[in-house]
Amino acid sequence: VEHWQLKDVEQWLSSKDRFSSALYACLKVEEINGLVLLTLNESDVRDLRYRLGYSQVSFGELKRLWLHISQLQQQWMLEQRQMYQQQQLNSGLTSMEAVHLAQTSSPPGGNAASAFMPMSLSNETCPSPATCQDCPGHSCRPNECKRLVAPEYFKTAVSLGYSFVVTWITSFVMVIVHERVPDMKRYPPLPDIFLDNVPHIPWAFNMCEITGSLLFTVWLIVLTFHKYRMVLLRRFFALAGTVFLLRCVTMLITSLSVPGTHLQCNQKDFAIDDPNVDMIGALVIRMTRAYRIWSGLGMSIQGVRTCGDYMFSGHTVALTLLNFFITEYTPRNLYFLHTMTWLLNMFGIFFILAAHEHYSIDVFVAFYITSRLFLYYHTLANNRASTFALMQSDSTRTRIWFPMFSYFENHVDGMIPNEFDTFGSLISSLFGQFVWLKDQLVRVAHHMPFPKSAKSLHMFTSVESEICSHSTHPTTSFHNSHQPQTSGVKNVRAKPGTRPTTPIKLSPQPVSGTPFSGSPT
C-alpha cells in the first residue's frame, strides 16, 4: 500500500464503492497516494470539505471514504505486524517484539502509521539511554523499556559536601548575628499581628522541634526503601543548602530586634571585647561557638540558644522541606500520610509563633521561599523533556542561573517513579554493594605498588648477585662455599687409580644471604 500511486488509489476506491468524480478530482489535486493514505486520520478527511473547500463532496461520501481508509490501515498494520514478528522469530532473537506487537493496537480515530511507525522510524517518545534499560537498537518500545536512573554516587557526595559547608557557614553567621543583636532596652519587639494577639506558650518551641523530628523520621524511612534514594538525597541536600545559604544573607544584612521579652538575648554574651585576643584568637572562639551550634543542629532541645537569626526561620525551612519531600516521593494514594505531614508542618509553624521565637514575617517568608524553590526545581526536573530545546538554545544562561540543577539533573529525564524496595531486596542490595566495594578494594590493592625498605632491597640485590654468580661458575662456586664449612667429616681424597672405601659425607652449614640451605644432590 505504501508504494501506491494516484492511479492505484483510484482503482482501490472504485473497487470498494461508488464515489463521485468530485472526490476523485480532490484526491488527484491533493496528491493522495498510498503513503499519504496510510497517514490520514478522520480530521484530515473532514478537512477536505470544511477547510479545503471541496463543497461538492457530500458528508456521507466522506464518512464512507473514511470507513474504507480505516479498514485499509488496520489491514496493513496487521500484515506489517505479522511480517515483523516472523522476522524476529527467524532471526533467532527473543519474541519480546512479537509480544509487544501483538499487544499494540491502533487507538480509535488513529491511523496505521501513528501506531506502527514510532517503533521503527521515530524515537521521540523513547527515554534517553541514561534512563532506559533493555531498549536495543534504534527501536523504541516505551511499554518494554524499564526505567533506570543512575544513582551517581559522586554527585550525591558533592551535594552532601555542599550542604555540609553551608551548615557550617550558617552556624558561623549565627554567631556573628548574635554578637550584633540589638539591645532589648533600646529596641523593643516590633509590632506583630500574631504575636500581639497570641499569648506566649513556653513549651511550644520544644513541641515544634519534636514535630520536626517526627517528619525527619518519616523522611528517613522513605529514603531507606525508595529505589532512587540517591536522587532524593541529592535533591534534598541541594535544596536545603541553597535555602540556608540564602538565609545566611538575610540574617546578616538586617538585624531585627528580639521578638519577645522572655528571651534573654544580650550581645555582651557573645561579644569578644578582650583587647588581649587577636584576630586569630577571635576566629578560634567564634569557630568553637559555631561548632556548638552545628553539633546541636541549632535545636533548643539540644541546648542551643541563639539570638538575632530571625529573618527567616530555619525551623520553618526544615519543616517545609521535609513535608514537601515526603509528599512528593510517596504514592499519591497515601492520603493519611500526606494529611499527617501537612498537619505536622502547620502545627510546627504555629508552635514557632506561639513560642514567640520568630516574627510572623520570618515564618511566612521561610515557607514561601522554601516551597517556591522546591516547586521550581521539581518543575524543571520533571519537565526536562519539554524544556530541553529551550535549555539547549540558552544553555549558558541556564548554567549561570541554575548551576546545581544543570549539574545534578544532567542525566535524570522526567519524573522519578515512586518505586520502593522490599526488606529482602534491600538486604540483598546492601550485600551486593558490600561485595562490590570489597572487590574494588582488592583490585586497588593488587595494583598498588608497595615500597621496599633499604634492608630488604639490599638483601634482594645480594641474593640476586649470588644467583648470578652461581649461574656463571656453578662448580667452583659450590666447592668454595661449602668446603670450609664442613664439620665432623674427614676430607677423604681418593688416590689415583683407586676408589674410596667410605662414602664422603658433606654437611655444609647454610650461609646467610645464599639461596642454598641443605646438602647438595
CB 247 within 8 A of CB 170: yes
Q: What is the DSSP string of 157-196?
A: HHHHHHHHHHHHHHHHHHHHHHHTPPPTTTSPPPP-HHHH
For residue 100, indicate whether it is catalytic: no
CB 344 within 8 A of CB 323: yes
C-alpha cell at 316: 520553618
In angstroms, how far apart are the furthest CA atoms of the chain? 138
Annotated catalytic residue: which of 178, 356, 358, 482? 358
CB 33 within 8 A of CB 6: yes
Within 10 angstroms of residue 325's Cβ, the number of other Cβ atoms is: 23
CB 230 within 8 A of CB 156: yes
Dihedral of the alpha carbons of 427, 430, 431, 434, in degrees to the nearest 10: -160
For residue 358, indicate whether it is catalytic: yes
| 1: amino acid identity, one letter | V
Closest C-alpha to 517, from 476, 492, 485: 485
Length of the chain in terms of residues written: 521
387's CB contacts (< 8 A; 6+ apart) are 380
Q: How far apart are CA 215 and CA 229, in angstroms?
A: 17
Q: Which letter, b or e, does each residue of 288-305 get, where b requires 16 or more Cβ atoms within 10 Å of its Cβ?
A: ebbeebbebbbbbeeebe
Bond from prior residue into 351 cis (ω within 30 degrees of 0): no
Annotated catalytic residue: which of 315, 356, 413, 482? 315
Cα distances (angstroms) measured from residue 105 to each of 1, 78, 122, 146: 19, 9, 17, 21
Q: How far apart are CA 458 and CA 455, in angstroms?
A: 5
Closest C-alpha to 352, from 251, 220, 241, 212: 212
Closest C-alpha to 359, from 263, 248, 249, 246: 263
19's CB contacts (< 8 A; 6+ apart) are 13, 61, 64, 65
Annotated catalytic residue: which of 192, 362, 413, 482? 362
298: left (phi over 0), alpha (psi -120 to 50) or beta: left
How deeply is 106 buried, as exposed, middle or buried, from its count of CB atoms within 10 A (0-12, 13-18, 19+)?
middle
457's CB contacts (< 8 A; 6+ apart) are none
C-alpha cell at 318: 526544615
C-alpha cell at 433: 554493594
For residue 278, indicate whether it is catalytic: no
Active-site positions read 315, 358, 362
